Amino acid sequence: MNFKKSIVILGLLLIFISCATNPFTGKKTMAFISNAQLFPSSFAQYNQVKSENKIITSTKDSDMITRVGQRIAVAAERWLNANGNQGYLKDYKWEYTLIESEQINAWCMPGGKIAFYTGILPIADNETGVATIMGHEVAHALANHGQQRMSAAYLQQGIALAGNVALANDSNGQAIFNQSYGVVTTVGGMLPFSRSHETQADEIGLRLMALAGYNPDEASELWKRMKAKSGGQAPPEFLSTHPSNDIRISNLKKWSPAAKAEAAKFGVTSFRPIN
């Protein structure tokens, strides 16, 4: 067996033995790094971000961020327990922080550390809008997207190294490989991978917000406001880490009835007023 075949077989074996099934997606995902390894570094990074920024506390907005986050987290635990995944969240340390910044952004670190920037609040517009964003960000953590992105990066780097080793005696071939590999794996692999995570987070988040008592019909309205704020300016989808606004709006409208039906299984048949 030659070296190249050995590398391919080893890579496939590593992927196979490092896969885990996620309860929210039902899919096997790469997990080259465990949450036990990932969460402590994630929590440390979160604390560093807080130390470097102005944190808003004890205000109407900061209280809303915490309230919505707690409701979404409870909804997630209810769903997990009902579907035979008790204890899934035992290592998660939920925390909700409002940061003063004009950035239109929110994010969730692996393990449940969530940040909202004040710049996104006008687009959220109301508590249900915040729940749309919160559900999406919590979904990233629950689906272990951070773990998967790191695993994919390790795989990308490993294949690059193997390619260079395999072509060590062919300087021309090595140069061609290095020139094309980054573009091909980014546009053809990492970017679609990222877009699939965003789509998963949209769908899971819709389910969570409905179960937490927020009307999922309003999620598409949030993305209409996001689209209006951007002025329609966005890179082509195939060069972006996120699906286009139009696709997200269409998907959220399509998925809303299913999210309502899922919430109804838990006795949630009406939603909090939009305010």
**Which residues carry out catalysis?**
137
Q: Please state, in angstroms and rounded to a whole number, the distance separating the CA atoms of residues 219 and 123.
A: 12
Q: How many CA atoms lie within 13 A of 37 on its CB side?
A: 8
Residues written for the chain: 275
Picking from 123, 62, 122, 48, the residue whose alpha carbon sits closest to that of residue 96 is 62
Q: Which tokens sit at 88?
A: 């899934």
Q: 């819709």: which residue's tokens?
A: 206
Strand, coil or helix: 96: strand
Neighbours of 49 (CB within 10 A): 15
Q: Do the beta carbons of residue 106 and residue 222 sit within 8 Å?
A: no
Within 10 angstroms of residue 95's Cβ, the number of other Cβ atoms is 18
* Contact (Cβ atoms closer than 8 angstroms) between residue 143 and residue 201: yes
Nearest to 116 by CA among 104, 126, 127, 128: 104
CA Rg value for the chain: 21
Q: Give yes or no for a contact between 36 and 91, defined as CB atoms under 8 angstroms apart.
A: yes
From CA 228, how far away is CA 156, in angstroms rounded? 36
